[in-house]
Amino acid sequence: MTKSNQSVEMIPIDQIFIANPRLRNQKIHKTITDSIEQIGLKRPITIRRVSSDNGELPYALVCGQGRLESCKELGQTEIAALVLDVDEKTAHLMSIVENVARRNPRASETMEQVRALKQRGYTDAEIGAKLGCTASWVNNVANLLERGEKRLLAAAEAGHIPLHLAVSISRVDDSEAQQLLLEAYENGDLKGRKVTIVRKILEQRSRSGKQGTNIFSRAQKNKPMTSEDLMKIYKRDVEMHKRIQKKSEFTQQSLLLVRQIFKELFATKEFRSLLRKEKLTSVPQPLADLLPQGGLNK
């Protein structure tokens, strides 16, 4: 490993070779580009000098591919760079270290950062500047934190639900939350597995209550439960079991209807002929039991 001599210089972008290019997250890349366009490059990239005896470019990128590509997209011809005299192996290790250090924080870490800065009296805009995000994002996160909506915030951080939808759900009751979920599905904001994830979160909120623990307030000592508290829990559990029973009855009725439909279809010679023609001769056993004697070949 060679000793690194460091200096920051303005280097022509077209003189820098990206040795190990990575695919970029387009949303994050756009944020970087917008930031550089508005306030300029806050941190120089890192490059190393290479031998140009074989006609190669005189510099190779070590860290800062996103910043380099953003400056190039903005039409800039030069970029501030920390120029190192290191070998290729050392440069690779430095790149790995920066990538690990630059990882996205977990949802719990983000919550703690916003909470701590809010308690210190920083505005949404000031917090956004410190965390590298917009004031609107900070405001939405703060609203969820104030309402104790840790599950919704974690789901938003994981990409399971849009942040604006999580905030909207936190402001309404259970029935209105279900309507928002339906509208989000119809509008395409939620698709596939995400709908199931959000539905489970709503069910958990319905069982354990909407508020949860407000992390902006001091922890309160556990109070003994009163008869009114027990009555509320009992009513909530009764309502939950009623919903489960209704879902079960609806599912049972749907299955009976499907069974009757297939029974009538299997009794039709034309339908059995169509199945043979499309080579759909293998059916689940519950449906096979509905076939007339002789099966599809009759």
Two structure tokens written together for 23: 């695919």
pLDDT at residue 97, rounded to an integer: 57
**Quick one: 199 exposed, middle or buried, by C-beta within 10 A (0-12, 13-18, 19+)?**
middle
Answer yes or no: are the C-beta atoms of 102 and 28 closer than 8 Å.
Answer: no
CA distances from 264 to 175, 251, 257, 271, 279 (A): 38, 20, 11, 10, 20
**Quick one: 138 exposed, middle or buried, by C-beta within 10 A (0-12, 13-18, 19+)?**
buried
Label residue 4 by pLDDT band (50, 70, 90). very low
> Distance between CA atoms of 274 and 64, rounded to whole angstroms?
61
pLDDT at residue 13, rounded to an integer: 92
For 121, list phi and psi in degrees, rounded to 5: 90, 10
Closest CA to 156 of 201, 210, 209, 223: 201
**Which pLDDT tens digit goes with each residue over 41-54?**
878 888 888 876 65
Element (H, E) at 60: strand 59-63
The mean pLDDT of 231-249, rounded to a whole number, is 81
Closest CA to 8 of 102, 79, 58: 79
Two structure tokens written together for 261: 């439909």
**Quick one: 218 exposed, middle or buried, by C-beta within 10 A (0-12, 13-18, 19+)?**
exposed
Two structure tokens written together for 294: 């002789």
The mean pLDDT of 201-217, rounded to a whole number, is 59
**Quick one: 264 exposed, middle or buried, by C-beta within 10 A (0-12, 13-18, 19+)?**
exposed
Sign of torsion over alpha carbons 237, 172, 178, 197: negative
* 264 has a pLDDT exceeding 50: yes
> Distance between CA atoms of 98 and 62, rounded to whole angstroms?
10
* 217 has a pLDDT exceeding 50: no
Two structure tokens written together for 216: 């902006």
**Which pLDDT tens digit goes with each residue over 143-180?**
787 777 777 777 777 777 887 788 888 787 777 777 78
Place of tokens 């756009």: 30
Alpha helices in 40-149 (DSSP H): 65-73, 88-101, 107-119, 124-131, 135-146
**Which pLDDT tens digit goes with each residue over 19-40?**
777 776 777 788 888 888 887 8
Helices and strands, counts by H and E, the chain: 13, 5
Two structure tokens written together for 247: 């879902």
pLDDT at residue 75, rounded to an integer: 92
